[in-house]
Amino acid sequence: MDKQAIAEAYLAAEPIEYHTPLFQAGRFETVVSYQTLASECIVMAAVLRGRFDIREVADAEPYKTAADMFAAIECNRFKVSNLFCEHPLWTPAENINFRIVHDILGHWGDKGDNKSAFSWKGEQRSYQSQCRVHSKQAQRALFTEIVGQTACYSLTGEFPDQKAILLPRELDT
């Protein structure tokens, strides 16, 4: 994946929000993709909550390393941050559900079979792992949320403001 091109597309894109006019190009497709991803994460996070002791914490980063997170998951415990949950289309609860699914099914894998780090390459692996459990419609938003934001962070050293956008399909190669 071309990190530079992805980051530039993310930073240049005009975000879609609920108050965006209905006639703006891409609004409907973007909202549907994000709401599909949120709905799928609600269901998956409920299943994961039955499988793991999941606790919300007010720590920006509950784990110093991915290995620390994997060790907690393997002990059937998991902490998820409830900070910085502002999102243009999701509620804080939907954002937390997404984080649970991303960290457990994306980074760790279904049975600890992925174990991808918190790095550019690790996020690409976690995206590929998480794609297996989401519909095609949800995968468009998933690409933006994981790969788009990580590309920006990898190049600038800071996470960008969250945007509800769909990056061009050709960047997902």
- pLDDT tens digits for range 12-46: 998 877 666 656 767 888 989 999 999 999 999 99
Domain containing 63: what range?
A: 3-12+26-166
Q: Is residue 84 part of a domain?
A: yes
State the pLDDT at residue 20: 63
From the list 151, 134, 161, the residue with the least C-alpha distance to 34 is: 134
From the list 159, 172, 63, 173, the residue with the least C-alpha distance to 117 is: 63
**pLDDT 10s digits, 138-164:** 999 999 999 999 999 999 999 898 899
Q: Is residue 20 part of a domain?
A: no
> What's the structural domain count of the chain?
1
From the list 151, 111, 106, 96, the residue with the least C-alpha distance to 127 is: 106
The Cα-based distances of 49 to 40, 115, 119, 155, 170 in angstroms read: 14, 19, 26, 34, 35
Residue identified by tokens 């995206």 is 127
Backbone torsions φ then ψ of 6, nearest 5 degrees: -65, -45
The Cα-based distances of 153 to 2, 63, 76, 158 in angstroms read: 14, 18, 30, 5
Q: Is residue 57 part of a domain?
A: yes
Q: Is residue 173 part of a domain?
A: no
Q: Is residue 106 part of a domain?
A: yes
Q: Is residue 172 part of a domain?
A: no
From the list 119, 139, 123, the residue with the least C-alpha distance to 131 is: 139
**pLDDT 10s digits, 54-98:** 999 998 889 999 999 999 999 999 999 999 999 999 999 999 999
State the pLDDT at residue 62: 95
Q: Is residue 111 part of a domain?
A: yes
Q: What is the pTM of this model?
A: 0.93
